Copies of this chain bind each other. A is one copy, B any other.
């Protein structure tokens, strides 16, 4: 089955203590779409400006990503620039230029309104709502977010949480949203906001799924060297949703496995700037790491 993914499509200028790369393909939807494309057909909803390099469109097409819902507008593509500290766990935003993103209204092609799996990747909650409003009874809806929306669009986000099956957020966002330091204690509070499934991402420490069947502790794939973690969370969500869309039957039965696939795609993402590494792997590379990760956690 197909996955519809809405989020940001951006140009990212990223500095780490080792190197810097300007105007990489970035944005939550770009990372998530490429990650999901290894498993299922992907429909990308977003907007780019007239400065968006043609090679990035070709890259999406090479991954079989349907670009009918990707608007091309006069003006500049959303541009984010940021810098990581030595340990890669902290970054600061140097500049955010919204460009064509400022007036973006996602509009779904008629043929895509029946897409069964929907990933509302990180983007303003009002736009996530707007996409859901256009969908016809999707089978499974997941939403990601970021601290910015907790600060400036909390009401919209809380409304959204009543409409999604799975809410994906990181540990510090969970703490901010629930005022609860302990992530395990935060989980029931997050469920009370609406979602049947909650996943808290903990970066290199893996992620935790909370569902009616209980908890699942998913490991992160251990990396000796993190080149650039930008987009790792989006890759996780994309890989997870792509795997779910590819699996037959009930979603519940595949969520754990899907998290392992998400973790593995995220690990590749971290091994290169932007999407440089993720776009060079094959499905077989993913399967190899999934097997390895299962061995690394088997008692």
Nearest Cβ distance between residue A181 and chain B, in whole angstroms? 4
A81: interface (CB < 8 Å): no
A87 in contact with B299 given A205-B205, A208-B222, A219-B217 (CB within 8 Å): no
Which single residue of chain B is at the shortest CB-CB distance from A214?
A: B296
A216 in contact with B181 given A202-B205, A205-B202, A205-B205 (CB within 8 Å): no
A222 x B215 contact (CB < 8 A): yes
State how many copies of this chain the complex holds.
Answer: 2
* Chain B residues in 8 Å Cβ range of A298: 256
* Chain B residues in 8 Å Cβ range of A223: 182, 184
Nearest Cβ distance between residue A265 and chain B, in whole angstroms? 16
Please provide the chain A residues from 149 to 163 with a CB less than 8 Å away from any CB of chain B in the complex: none
Interface size class of A (residues with CB under 8 A): 20 to 34
A182 in contact with B299 given A202-B205, A217-B219 (CB within 8 Å): no
Choose among A182, A206, A217 the residue with the greatest number of B CB atoms under 10 Å from its CB: A217
Which single residue of chain B is at the shortest CB-CB distance from A175?
A: B87
A296 in contact with B216 given A86-B181, A202-B205 (CB within 8 Å): yes
Nearest Cβ distance between residue A224 and chain B, in whole angstroms? 5
Q: State the CA gap A214–B294 with chains docked (Å).
A: 13
Please provide the chain A residues from 195 to 219 with a CB less than 8 Å away from any CB of chain B in the complex: 202, 205-206, 208, 214-217, 219
A282: interface (CB < 8 Å): no
Which single residue of chain B is at the shortest CB-CB distance from A259?
A: B299
* Chain B residues in 8 Å Cβ range of A88: 181
* Chain B residues in 8 Å Cβ range of A214: 295-296
A260: interface (CB < 8 Å): yes
Q: State the CA gap A110–B214 with chains docked (Å).
A: 51
Contact flags A205-244 to B (C-beta < 8 A → 1, else 0)? 1101000001111010011111000000000000000000
A225 x B185 contact (CB < 8 A): yes
Nearest Cβ distance between residue A226 and chain B, in whole angstroms? 7
Which single residue of chain B is at the shortest CB-CB distance from A86?
A: B181
A279: interface (CB < 8 Å): no
Choose one: B182, B217, B225, B295; the contact of A226 (CB below 8 Å): B182
A224 in contact with B184 given A256-B299, A299-B256 (CB within 8 Å): yes
* Chain B residues in 8 Å Cβ range of A219: 217, 219, 297
A178: interface (CB < 8 Å): no
A257: interface (CB < 8 Å): yes
Which single residue of chain B is at the shortest CB-CB distance from A213?
A: B295
A-B contact pairs, 23 of them (CB 8 A): A87-B181, A88-B181, A182-B223, A182-B224, A182-B225, A182-B226, A184-B222, A184-B224, A185-B224, A185-B225, A202-B205, A205-B205, A208-B222, A214-B296, A216-B296, A217-B222, A217-B297, A219-B297, A256-B299, A257-B299, A260-B299, A294-B299, A297-B297
